[in-house]
Amino acid sequence: MKNLNYILLILMTYITPCLSQNNESFYGTTDYRIEAFGSASTNDYTPFWIVNNRYGVVPLDAGNGYLRAGAFHQQTTGNGLRWGAGLDIVASTPRYRNVYIQQIYAEIGYQCLNLTIGSKENYTSLWDRNLSSGDMVHSSNARPIPEINISVPRFTTVPYTKGILQFKGNFAAGRSFDTDFLKPFDNEKQDYIKNTLWHHKSLHLRILDPNGHFPLTAAIGIRHYAQWGGTSTDPEKGVQPHSLKDFMRIVLGRSGGKESTLSAQTNVLGNHYGSYDIKIGYLNPLFDIHLYKQHYFDDPSGMELYNLPDGLYGIQVNMADFPLISKVVFEYLYTKNQSGPVHYIIFDHSEYPGFGGGRDDYYNNEEYTTGTSYFNRSIGSPLITSPDYNKNGKLGFQNNRIRAWHIGLSGFLSGQVSYQILMTNSEGWGTTNSPFLKKTTDFSCAVKISYCHPHLEGWLFSGEIATDQGSVYGDNLGFALSVSKKGLLKRW
């Protein structure tokens, strides 16, 4: 994890000059959004692509619905200073808690820099929000975790590069609030850590000709996430290290102190994971085409590319002048390697120069048994089956060795009618510790049609039909209807 130590220094090097940019505008708006949603299906579960990548709002159980209402304020005070706040409430059924706060946050920004406190739906991935199968590190699949986040949220020009080199990044610390939800999973056969703390940071660089004369563009980046702290439901494990010194160990990817577990002292404190991201694009007046790869790592062996075949591979084509099929995404997800079998058990680095590793067990952790999930929904790719689907009442991810092909496309049938299609075929082998006796195969598909009336400003009417066929998600057919309205409450 040593390479991650330099991210903060690089961020500060780029952030300081960008604050010299100027913006003299002065305005403010308060907007509202309301939505009613309902779905039904022939199985006990709602079809896969009606549930997933929706920030955890749609319940998994069949025959569900929700009402949602939010108000959001944005104020720019001049000279690049701005602030905002938001409140988003959901009333849903069936659910363990029928009314809950989905988003509540306050934020302040100056020029390119932003500070957000609270829980906010915030999509930062380089992959398409609506058509991708999901970012492996942080997708739109789970509810937002409350946090303090310092960020440069949009690609911003690095000074003295004439706009050719741009960057974005963040540094955040948060805390899980799903303790009450997890209480039924506390029993003599399993324990978990409640009130888990989180840390994540990222840095992405992009090369782009701002004048559009050179058709190629490229972006690279690194993301680092960590779970730490909290209190185990096992009294023998108790409170986990959570001091400021421990936080610095988490930030720098260092091993734990004497008060931590033997595993944390041998490896690193907490549960760490992340990715290397790369995206290359060709820009043309008729279409854009982008190739990308996300290399996921779960430990130092993954950071050294021992699990090189694993990751998300994608192609995205944008055709703005061809509205019938305006955007297409093809993706391939492979996670079977996981750094291979266990190797370098003795950790004798004089004889074995590489990292010890193998059997990485993506999204799972021996101490943080909930894994990289929030309210039992995967924070990363939903194709690595969320714990919400576990039928045996256990926590963690039981199907993280998968191979999947995914297609997403969207366009307009007319000026008021748009559509979106998602199709995914996946194969699963369980985990390295608990492999399936027989490979599973699943196919999931969803077609969504949306209509906006030219004389009903802000209204959107949507209907979708979806199906699942296979071993993990079962044979299922379902549909969903939604009506939403957004608009301006007041201009300041």
Non-local CB neighbours of 184 within 8 Å, separated by 6+ positions: none
Residue keyed to tokens 């075929």:
425
Per-residue pLDDT band for 13 (boundaries 50, 70, 90) equals low
3-state secondary structure at position 205: strand
3-state secondary structure at position 216: strand
Alpha helix stretches (DSSP H) within 234-373: 244-252, 262-266, 300-303
What pLDDT is attached to residue 257?
65
Largest separation between any pair of C-alpha atoms in the chain: 74
Non-local CB neighbours of 372 within 8 Å, separated by 6+ positions: 225, 227, 271, 273, 363, 378, 379, 380
Within 10 angstroms of residue 194's Cβ, the number of other Cβ atoms is 18
Asked whether 39 and 65 are in contact (CB, 8 A), the reply is yes
pLDDT tens across 96-140, in order? 889 999 999 999 999 999 999 999 999 999 999 999 999 999 999
Please tell me the pTM assigned to this model.
0.91
Which segments of 355-434 are extended strands (E)?
A: 373-374, 377-378, 402-412, 417-430
Burial level of 244, CB count in 10 A (0-12/13-18/19+)?
exposed
Which of 25-29, 97-101, 153-157, 240-244 shows the lowest per-residue confidence on average (mean pLDDT)?
A: 25-29
Q: Which residues face 422 on adjacent strands?
A: 408, 446
User: At 362, which amino acid appears?
Assistant: Y
Asked whether 181 and 221 are in contact (CB, 8 A), the reply is no
Mean pLDDT of 37-53: 97
pLDDT tens across 261-320, in order? 656 555 789 999 999 999 999 999 899 999 999 999 998 889 999 999 999 999 999 998
- Going from the C-alpha of 35 to that of each of 91, 387, 454, the distances in angstroms are 11, 27, 19
- Distance separating the N- and C-terminal Cα atoms of the chain: 47
The DSSP symbol for 48 reads: H
CA atoms within 13 A on the CB side of 488: 7
Tell me the average pLDDT of the chain: 91
The structural domains of the chain, ordered by start, are 29-491 (2.40.160.130)
- Kindly report the backbone phi and psi dihedral angles of residue 201, in degrees, each rounded to the nearest multiple of 5, phi listed first: -150, 160
Asked whether 56 and 74 are in contact (CB, 8 A), the reply is no
- ∠ CA 139-297-176, nearest 5°, is 50
Structure tokens at 45: 């579960």
- Going from the C-alpha of 472 to that of each of 53, 399, 434, the distances in angstroms are 18, 9, 15
Q: Which residues face 282 on adjacent strands?
A: 216, 289
Residue keyed to tokens 């680095």:
349
Which of 36-50, 305-319, 346-360 shows the lowest per-residue confidence on average (mean pLDDT)?
A: 346-360
Asked whether 193 and 366 are in contact (CB, 8 A), the reply is no
Question: What H or E segment, with its residue span, contains residue 13?
Answer: helix 7-18
pLDDT tens across 231-271, in order? 999 998 899 999 999 999 999 988 766 666 656 555 789 99
Sign of CA dihedral 425, 430, 435, 438: negative
What pLDDT is attached to residue 8?
47
Residues in the chain, total? 492
Q: Measured between alpha carbons, how far is 449 from 465 in angstroms, rounded to an integer?
A: 9
Computed over its alpha carbons, how large is the radius of gyration of the chain?
A: 23
What pLDDT is attached to residue 224?
98
Alpha helix stretches (DSSP H) within 242-347: 244-252, 262-266, 300-303
Q: Measured between alpha carbons, how far is 294 from 276 in angstroms, rounded to an integer?
A: 6
3-state secondary structure at position 380: coil
Is the pLDDT reported for residue 429 higher than 90? yes
Asked whether 34 and 82 are in contact (CB, 8 A), the reply is no
- Rounded to the nearest 10 degrees, how much is the dihedral formed by the CA atoms of 6, 8, 10, 15? 180
| pLDDT above 70 as % of the chain | 89
The DSSP symbol for 389 reads: G
What pLDDT is attached to residue 300?
86
**CA 340 remoteness from chain centre:** 26
Non-local CB neighbours of 492 within 8 Å, separated by 6+ positions: 27, 28, 29, 30, 75
Asked whether 106 and 85 are in contact (CB, 8 A), the reply is yes
User: At 154, which amino acid appears?
Assistant: R
Mean pLDDT of 354-376: 87
